[in-house]
Structure formats: structure tokens, C-alpha cells
Amino acid sequence: MTVNRELFDQVMVPNYAPSSVIPVRGEGSRVWDQEGREFIDFAGGIAVNCLGHCHPALVSALKEQGEKIWHLSNVMTNEPALRLAKKLTDATFAEKVYFANSGAEANEAALKLARRFALDNFGEQKSQIISFNKGFHGRTFFTVTVGGQAAYSDGFGPKPGDIVHCDYNDLAAFEALISDSTCAVMMEPLQGEGGIISPTAEFVEGVRELCTKHNALLIFDEVQTGVGRTGELYAYQGLNITPDILTTAKALGGGFPIGAMITTTDIAKHLKVGTHGSTYGGNPLACAVAEAAFDTVNTPEVLNGVKEKSALFRELLTAINEKYNVFTEIRGEGLLIGAVVTEQFKGRAKEFLVAGTAEGVMSLVAGADVVRFTPSLVIPEADIREGMARFEKAVAKVVNG
């Protein structure tokens, strides 16, 4: 069988439009395709491959668990799930963990829990969910409706109700919207897909205060920001506030599919036996790999290293911009970095991604106007410099047409 890009068009549902490049092997922050071409990976599978490709600790955990037990239903528990849950609760505000397979599933669980908590404690009238324009929370119908990008939820019939949106970083608009009918507020502590937008301290602290005032649960979607991405284990730990529920996925498994919702005992008790579930959630293979990823990332060496690598990324991007004047701003936290294109290149961020691929560097976009970088948290300095040299050639090509 010939496996190539044309086969995708023959056999796959056309909801993706993948590159012609088909990677077949990865090591660290480098990837090779079917033709043997090498790429520096600044994309990380969209902030998933937190330790790069084929990290020895993850490979070892997968092999070891793969020779023990692969799957059990949640009629029984398993050792890797319990160990990982204990480590998550020890390292965060949370006391209870629910495992899922993805960020969307973790967010679905968080939203269902918030609605059930409000119903049990306050009654049916307390059901409103507030989230933010340009936010992204997954592709299930509930989470995509809560997400603040209507283009993703339009066209599928009637949407889940009592969900409203306001602008991120607009505390006055948020204060005008929230009330005693609000059951939950879902927000990213740094908007990812919406353009790599950080919250102001006033905004995030004000949201927390208003949630407390109105007995609304604050849900932090840390699917993209969590597990070291910002230089904190979880981004909330650098924001001087604590959410009531937090969701985590992407980097949690270092590339193996897993998600989790974490919360307090008082809130968690409202998901009684039978109220929610998952066939694969808490899978022993996934949890064993995630435990190895979590142990590797949750060290001062790695977390401090994220901040150092972030500074180098910004320095090199700034140097490129001084030559070509294509970005108005370099923003983000840690190794979740966005380069905002100038008016001249508005709507054309993807051109930099495509040109980069041709030069041997993988990047992302966050909307039409932001080039996004989410590399491995342990990417070597030499790979950062080489990748940025390739990216500079890509920028030159776009600028020179």
C-alpha cells in the first residue's frame, strides 16, 4: 500500500486539510518525514509534546506498563491512575480528580459538574454559564458552544442554552453580565486559540472576586497552559488566584491521549455514582505515561528552564523583527508564544507557517493574525537557535514574495 497525502483524500473525512508532509520519526525536538527531511519542531503537536518526541522516560513508562495491563473499565480502579491522581492533588489546590481522554472531555465534565453543583445547592434558576469571546474549550457541542467562536458551533442545529459571552480583559462588561443566576464562569488563564492573550491582574482577580460574590464556580481551562507550559506547573499558580475547577490535557500525557478535571471534595461530591463516566478515562497505559511526564516536568530545573528558553525565543524573534518589521508584538507566557503580524500581513499568519515548513521548521497559528510557538519544554538551546534561523529564512521569503 502506498501511504501518502493523496490517500488522506481517499479515506479520511475532509474536516482537516493536512500538509503534504507526513512525519514518520521524531527524537527530541526534531522530526523526519517520509523523504528523510528534517524539521525543528516548534509546534509540539499543538502544545502536547511537552518533552519532545520519544522522551526516554515516556518510552520506558509505556513499555513497562504495556507488559502489565492495558485497560480496565471503571468498574475497577488501577495503580497508575491512583498514583497520578495523588500527584495531581499534592501539587495543586485540588482534592479530587476525574480522568478523561481529551481536553474537550475534561471541559464537558467540568461544565456538567458546575451545573449539577448549582442545581443541588441553589435550584434550577442558577444555570447560566459565562465564557469569553475568542475562547476555545473543545469541540463537543457543549464545549464548542461555551467557546467564544460562533463559527465553530454554528450549523449544527439548536445549541445548548443559557450560555453567554463577553470580551476577555473587560472587567466592566463581565461585572454587568454576572448575577446570582450564574452557575459557572469558564476561562483560559491565557487565551490560546484566540490569539495568545494574557489576562491583566485586575481582570483575573476581579473575575475571581465576582464569582465568589455570586456563588458561581470559576473553571480554569488549562488544557493548553497546564503542565509547565507557562513556566508554572499550572498557570493559575502565577496569577494570585485559585479556581474552583481546573481542566488539564494536552501536555499531561506528553503525547499520549489523556485529560483530567480536578476540583475540591465539596464540589466533586455532586458527581455521584452514575452521573458521569468514561469508558477509557483513567486508562492504565495513559496514566502510566502521564505520570512519567508529570514527574519529569514538575521539577524546578524544567519549570525554571521554560522561563529561560522563553527569554531566548523572544530575543531571537525580536532580532528577526528588527530586520523585517513583520510583527507588532511578541506576547504570551513561558513557551506559549504568539507573534502578532503587522497590518501589512493581517490575515496572513499562515503564510509564515507554510514558509517555515518549507525551510524545515514547524510552527502554528492562533487565528489569522498570530504565529504561535509551542515547542518542547526541554528543547535544547541549539535547536531553538537553529529553528529560529530557519524561521528567519521563512520570514524573508514571505516579505520578499
| Residues carrying an active site annotation | 136, 221, 250
| Helix-, strand-, coil-residue percentages of the chain, each rounded to 5 | 40, 20, 40
- End-to-end alpha carbon distance in the chain: 38
Q: Is 295 annotated as a binding residue?
A: no
The identity of residue 51, as a single letter, is L
Q: Is 223 annotated as a binding residue?
A: yes
Which residues partner with 165 through β-bridges? 131
Give residue 207's region: left, alpha or beta (phi > 0; psi -120 to 50). alpha
Q: Is 103 annotated as a binding residue?
A: yes
Q: Is 331 annotated as a binding residue?
A: no
Could you tell me the three cell numbers for 336? 506559549
- CB contact burial 257-290 (16+ within 10 A = b; e otherwise): bbbbbbbbeebbebbeeeebebebbbbbbbbbbb
If DSSP states are collapsed to H, E and C, what string results for 111-166?
HHHHHHHHHHHHCCCCCEEEEEECCCCCCCHHHHHHCECHHHHCCCCCCCCCEEEE
Q: Is 222 annotated as a binding residue?
A: yes
**Interatomic CA distance for residues 354 and 351, integer angstroms:** 5
Q: Is 136 annotated as a binding residue?
A: yes
The single-letter DSSP state of residue 250 is G
Kindly report the length of the chain. 401
- Side-chain-side CA neighbours of residue 348 (13 Å): 15
The single-letter DSSP state of residue 190 is S
Q: Is 278 annotated as a binding residue?
A: yes
For the annotated binding site for N(2)-acetyl-L-ornithine, the residues are 139, 278
For the annotated binding site for pyridoxal 5'-phosphate, the residues are 103-104, 136, 221-224, 279
For the annotated binding site, the residues are 103-104, 136, 139, 221-224, 278-279
